Structure 1
């Protein structure tokens, strides 16, 4: 399949049986996925840290047990149903048929949901995030993630989830600034980690995340979709089993890919700030629910708690405030 035909196939199609979608499916089935992708086991913590430092991401299997996978999958489908009820045309808020769990919540988070609260007490996650930051004093930014529906045939542009300071008029979520103009956020140790949890297998066809290894420190401009080479489009984290986690340095270039599998793909997450890094945090859990968490979880979410005098308003939206 030629590079041009792949780009043509990435355009929206009127029906799943459209010829360009069939061609895209065959191409992805044959070529999608990072060659030699390491899927580690929970015991491989030293290797996990090495790969994270080198590539900007790492995948570990068998972190969630079957019961946790089932609970998380049910929670993702319940939240998705509430969001999709507001979007009959499936326009999405991260592209057609593509949605952010946080960006579709009035609190910019799903921390009020018990399925996401469950993720705060996964021992391996605690161990690895503590090792990445070399401190247990990191904090939760939000509980979010994304999902894409079958029919998401477009590629999401490559991007990073954190950058240098921008004015409040541009975004309320911005922090790092060097007035000498010598350092950027990419010159720092990892300031911000995302842990994605897989409630289903991620395959070549159901919208695997594409990650460009080693770009977390790159100052090279991120290529547009028009300029992105084909190898980057196929640099996807798959196949990966249900119950796995993917830990990401959010500075590394990444983006969504087509889901032509026939089923929804969800990757809920927890997002953490290093002890020395902060951007504004929006309350995502009521004081009452906060008091029900474990001591460990309470420490993590201490900046995400609504005041005891306030009522946390939760619900679905297509455009978070």
Structure 2
């Protein structure tokens, strides 16, 4: 894997006593116990794990050459983002970033490495089995990354909610989500899985480099998520490691999850593709350039029909001011001793 020196530990001392203590603490934790790791062809077992736990882990999905190409693409985009954020402030907390939120299109589908993820046959088969049919859609593609020096935990959160509307200015509002029961009998957690995030592992995950933590079986939970101060130790340590590069994690986006510290010397990049169930829709942002769309096969084009650039209306590409900022429910917090 390419060298990654100089991308992390911005304004922090990796040799401080508090960092060394955190490294020892993370090494001593065993992570989420006994989570299943499937092979790509075991689609029914993958679907069973997914519906039970709210996620499924699959190894050996990408070849070594695919992993290397994807990781190089991630590092290129990361370097572009870091030129706009030399202090490592992040947009999901210090040293922690969303690829999608940083972009003016909410996605990275103008990057060929992300487009290459849209029609991997084994993944299409898995998604179709989980959803029970082939008529699903691509919602977006982005993901996240954390730099060395992301010493905090991100609060537990989920990636969707019931429909909400926010007034941005007179005459202009933002609608988030889709499902809304006027009789207040159901909410989005009562539904079958509305959409899946497929996360790609581009480097081996260890106790030190910020693997995601995932609380199993919470996709339909109606109880409030605990804050970091309230979160029990077993949840905070439910990290998905070890995992090898080339693996994927299929996530029901409603399930509770959060980022963990990266106290290694390498960037932990986790690009993704997101898929809507055949029956589910939300307002979508067009993010896939026509030129890249035309290089896809017919089935992939059909799945991307609502996010492709319109003829005569070119996409505005680039990065948001302040990289989109950090939502309150995704802002990482210090839970250990302050960094020296």
State whether residues 179 and 188 of structure 2, in contact with CA within 8 Å, keep that contact through their aligned partners in structure 1: yes
Residue matched to 1:264: 267
Query: Do residues 278 (structure 1) and 276 (structure 2) align?
Result: no
Report which stretch shifted further, 64-73 or 280-289: 280-289
Q: CA distance change for structure 1 residues 210 and 13 in 2, over 3 Å: closer, same or farther?
A: farther
State yes or no: 1:313 paired with 2:316: yes
Distance 2:11 2:289 in 1: 43
Query: Is residue 192–residue 249 contact of structure 1 (8 Å, CA) maintained in 2?
Result: yes
Question: What does residue 168 of structure 1 align with?
Answer: 166
1:149-188 matches, within 5 Å, as 149-169=147-167, 171-188=174-191
| Equivalent residue, structure 1, for 2:3 | none
Between 30-39 and 191-200, the greater mean CA deviation after superposition? 30-39
Following the alignment from structure 2 to structure 1, what is the Cα–Cα distance between the partners of residues 12 and 118? 41
List per-residue Cα deviations over 1:270-293 (Å, max 9, x = no partner). 001111111111111122321221
Deviation readout 1:296-315 (Å, 9 max, x if unpaired): 22112111011110222212
Q: Which runs of 5+ in 1 are unaligned?
A: 1-11
Q: Report the alpha carbon displacement of residue 43 of structure 1 after superposing the two structures with TM.
A: 2.6
Q: Which residue number in structure 1 is paired with residue 126 of structure 2?
A: 128
1:1-321 → structure 2 map (5 Å cutoff): 14-169=12-167, 171-317=174-320, 318-320=322-324
d(CA) in 2 for partners of 1:106, 1:72: 21
1:108–1:320 contact (8 Å) kept in structure 2: no
The answer (yes or no) to whether the contact 2:158–2:255 under 8 Å persists in 1 is yes
Q: RMSD value over aligned CA atoms?
A: 1.6
Q: Aligned partners of 1:92, 1:268: CA distance in 2, in Å?
A: 16
**Alignment deviations for residues 161-220 of structure 1 (CA, whole Å, 9 cap, x no partner):** 011121233853221100111101000000010000111111111000000000000000
Shift in Å, 1:36: 1.1
Q: CA deviation at 1:320?
A: 4.0
Looking at structure 1, the residues matched to 276 and 183 of structure 2 have their Cα atoms a distance apart, in angstroms, of: 24
Provide the secondary structure at the position in 1 that maps to 2:101.
coil
- TM-score, normalised to structure 2, is 0.88
Question: Which stretches in structure 2 are left out of the alignment for 5+ residues?
Answer: 1-9, 169-173, 326-340
